[in-house]
Structure 1
Amino acid sequence: MKKVAILGGKRIPFVKSFKEYNHLSNQELITPCLNALIETFNLKGKRIGEVAFGALLNRSTDWNFSRECVLGTSLDPHTPAYNLQRACGTSLDSTIQLGLRIAAGQIDTAIAGGSDTNSDIPLQLQRQLSWKLADLKHAKSFGEKLRLISSINFKDLTPVYPSIVEPRTGLSMGQHTEKMVKEWGISRTEQDELAYKSHMNAAKAYAEGFFDDLVIEFKGLKKDTIIRADTTLAKLASLKPAFDFSGQGTLTAGNSTIYTDGASVLMLASEEFAQQQNWPVKAYLIDGETAAVDYVNGEGLLMAPTYAVARLLKRQNLQLQDFDFYEIHEAFSGQVLCTLKAWEDADYCKKLGWDKPLGSIDRNKLNIKGGSVAIGHPFAATGARIVAQAAKMLEEKGSGRALISICTAGGMGVVAILER
């Protein structure tokens, strides 16, 4: 098995949806990231072993999204590419999949990534209208065509907006997380404190220049626009509940991710090939794991990473405390806190296959350069953003391990271990 080297990542600034990137497509967002990677690693005219991108909010015309992105750059057009999608875990999943192909010796280089935009939202036709239009196209007589046209009513013309809810429950991710925080006894204060720390860590990282080589300039922007260096716990405490209006809700716009537009990409290679090209290695992808929970029958929607991490630790003969950095995706502050509390619970960890609690982590090692609450969360782009961020942290430290954990819609989770 070959060692899988993480060489670096590029992303555009993450922004609040319906603002700076309004009407830009996923392809328009991710292609500049890919071009920046090509320039950094001198890939012009080079054939990459494989490219894998994804987006949660896809248009039907994006069926060949990744390949079209490749063809829109100076990469050798013989570079293959494919789409994949696992909601918020998409680009971490693409990183793991491509890493396995590199480890197996099938390819020497790969580019993983993802993009998402709510500002170019793919509206759909009502199914009844789609059927009528299809029938109209194949109608043979004028009378048949006239009958079909006259059957189209106002309801048929109402567009269908994508709804980010769970089809099995009809509840949004935030509503499911409200259930989770109640189950685990997570307070509003704890959630606001984690959100505050996320903003402070991200603002500090920008001030120190940490993101200078990770975030490229795009549309006149040089940094993420969601980070609030001036927020306070008092400001966060003043916000109203966003998902539960009964007076018992604790999730707000301040301790949850907001709709975000953005894209990110990541360069991978075998260790041997990286050495041949004199490409410095930031970190290595050691292993990855996925999991799912039965949220329809009562398990917490966003708790699947607890299972995935437990299995990954057992396979690697590691303890939860054997890490220098923890990058836990902040879909909601409450979801992160539920995960941490579950790992400390003996009875819960028995479900995970452990005869003792996984235990607690050092919170000073958690999302130290900021998390998704502050930086933003363009669904499919978050994984590559986190991997590039964690790899650079390991490079700066000189050695160590990072644990990456991402929850996803559908009650799934994607996790990975990086090492240097």
Structure 2
Amino acid sequence: MSDIYLVPGLRTPFVKAGGVYAKHSSIDLSVPLVREMAGRARPDFVVWGQVITHPDVSNIAREVVLDAGVDPTIPAFSTTLACSTSFMAAIEAGAMLGRGGAHLALVGGSESMSHVPIALKQRVADELMFLFAKDRAAAAERLARIGAGDFNLPARGWANRKSGRSMGEHTEDTVKRFAISREDQDAQALASHQGAIRGWDEGFFTDLVLPFDGVAADNLPRRDTSPEKLAGLKPAFDPANGTITAGNASPLTDGAAALWVADREGLARLGAEPTVRLVDWELAAIDYLDGDEGMLMAPARAIPRLLARHGLRFADIASWNVHEAFAAQVVANLRLAADASYRKERAGVDVDLGEFPWQHVNPHGGSIALGHPFAATGARVLSQAAKELAALPSGSRGIVSLCADGGSGTVGLLERV
């Protein structure tokens, strides 16, 4: 298989759902990125993702290519793996390079969390479909009687289908099971905001972000946050005993993000040097229905397995970019990946990985501060990680880690060439 290289792409500024992007669809958010990037080089194919799907869009990747007005003969397909969606798009694209004449892929994802389709319950939809086929007047009469009880409303914040519980409720299980303190969660959240603000102040994000609809920068990082302000927020998922708050959890966000995945021939077409290589990846999953760990603990298995496979220790990794669905999930996954007993029992890795370097986690902020448009986060994290590694000496390595609904985890090993 050809070497797989990552070249940072573009993203929209990330903004709070229900705000300035509320009039835009996921396709709207995606189009300027694809148009701008395809103007630099023609990709051999496009992989794009969306988690909150809409009934009138069967293949968002193809719709984005067509709406962007780029070469309509560019193939495009969609992918979904919850919060790891555009990370999975990069893995899929990388596996295709060097085959079928493909050398350069444009991958990414977008999410408009301002626009959540509301579906009819299946029995009601079936009844209406039957009536429309047999008796349109009766169908119209039934439509007139549609009430709140006939809809599947997202009242529980994108609850998991199997458990019926939200990610926040599952992560409260993680907090209790592993005694993750409120102070540690708030400290992780504060570090995320500080890193994001520093990144914007120092110009790190300037060439990664394409202004959209009058917005030039993320509007979620809080310059004025503090330990005291974070400590004053009320629990969001367990009012009586919880520790997860709006301050130490990722916010509902609108945005889109993209990056390039290429082999050497594709890099030449981009006019880019081989700088950051995607060396390997590890996909993991846990049985979140049979245990008390919570939903988002698969990275604690995937990280040790990936490091052990390459004979690496924590100290060999210069840059860690870890998706922050919740601060508690970050702390728990990294703490337990570094716990020898847990690592041996749950990941099947019985090697000494050393002390975990917390100072190298999310140096330019994570999803708590920057925001989390589900399908866009993987591409945002990969572009950020690739840019950070490009500034480090040859041979430097990075880890990218994303947890996802359904008990999944996706971890990648990157290397500065």
The alignment's TM-score, normalised by the length of structure 1, stands at: 0.93
Partner residue of 2:191 out of 197, 200, 203: 197
- Output the amino acid matched with 1:178: E
Which residues in structure 2 correspond to 1:89-168 (within 5 Å)? 89-102=84-97, 106-139=101-134, 145-146=137-138, 149=141, 153-155=145-147, 158-162=150-154, 163-168=157-162
Cα deviation for residue 307 of structure 1 reads 1.6
Which residues in structure 2 correspond to 1:367-378 (within 5 Å)? 367-378=362-373
Cα deviation for residue 317 of structure 1 reads 2.5
Give CA-to-partner distance per residue, 1:295-325, whole Å, 9 cap, x none.
Answer: 0001431111122222222322222331110
Question: Does structure 1 residue 217 correspond to structure 2 residue 211?
Answer: yes
Q: Could you tell me how far apart the structure 2 residues matched to 1:356 and 1:87 are?
A: 31
Which residues in structure 2 correspond to 1:47-86 (within 5 Å)? 48-86=43-81
What SS does the aligned partner of 1:297 have?
coil
- Segments of structure 1 that go 5 or more residues without pairing to the other structure are none
| Contact 1:184–1:341 under 8 Å retained in 2 | no
Against the structure 1 CA distance between its residues 357 and 341, is the aligned structure 2 distance closer, same or farther, given a 3 Å change threshold? farther
The equivalent residue for 1:415 is: 411
Q: Could you tell me how far apart the structure 2 residues matched to 1:339 and 1:171 are?
A: 20
RMSD over aligned CA atoms reads: 1.9
The equivalent residue for 2:174 is: 180
Percent identity, please.
39
The equivalent residue for 2:221 is: 227
Q: Could you tell me how far apart the structure 2 residues matched to 1:195 and 1:338 are?
A: 14
- Output the amino acid matched with 1:418: L
The equivalent residue for 1:330 is: 324
| Contact 2:401–2:410 under 8 Å retained in 1 | yes
Partner residue of 1:295 out of 278, 288, 295: 288
What SS does the aligned partner of 2:254 have?
strand
Which residues in structure 2 correspond to 1:230-269 (within 5 Å)? 230-246=224-240, 248-269=241-262
- Output the amino acid matched with 1:87: A
Cα deviation for residue 230 of structure 1 reads 1.2
- Output the amino acid matched with 1:138: A
Cα deviation for residue 14 of structure 1 reads 0.4
Cα deviation for residue 194 of structure 1 reads 0.8
Against the structure 1 CA distance between its residues 358 and 181, is the aligned structure 2 distance closer, same or farther, given a 3 Å change threshold? farther
Q: Could you tell me how far apart the structure 2 residues matched to 1:129 and 1:382 are?
A: 35
Cα deviation for residue 23 of structure 1 reads 2.9
Against the structure 1 CA distance between its residues 292 and 124, is the aligned structure 2 distance closer, same or farther, given a 3 Å change threshold? same
Deviates more, 1:145-154 or 1:263-272: 145-154
Give CA-to-partner distance per residue, 1:31-79, whole Å, 9 cap, x none.
Answer: 111122123x2x3xx3x22211111111011112101111122432111
Against the structure 1 CA distance between its residues 181 and 7, is the aligned structure 2 distance closer, same or farther, given a 3 Å change threshold? same
Question: Does structure 1 residue 361 correspond to structure 2 residue 356?
Answer: yes
Q: Could you tell me how far apart the structure 2 residues matched to 1:148 and 1:21 are?
A: 34
Cα deviation for residue 175 of structure 1 reads 0.8
What SS does the aligned partner of 1:290 have?
strand
What SS does the aligned partner of 1:174 have?
helix
The equivalent residue for 2:27 is: 27
| Contact 1:257–1:374 under 8 Å retained in 2 | yes
Aligned positions, number? 411
Partner residue of 2:333 out of 330, 335, 339: 339
Against the structure 1 CA distance between its residues 139 and 289, is the aligned structure 2 distance closer, same or farther, given a 3 Å change threshold? same
Give CA-to-partner distance per residue, 1:166-199, whole Å, 9 cap, x none.
Answer: 1222111111111101111111011101100110
The equivalent residue for 1:87 is: 82
Q: Could you tell me how far apart the structure 2 residues matched to 1:277 and 1:245 are?
A: 52
- Output the amino acid matched with 1:417: L
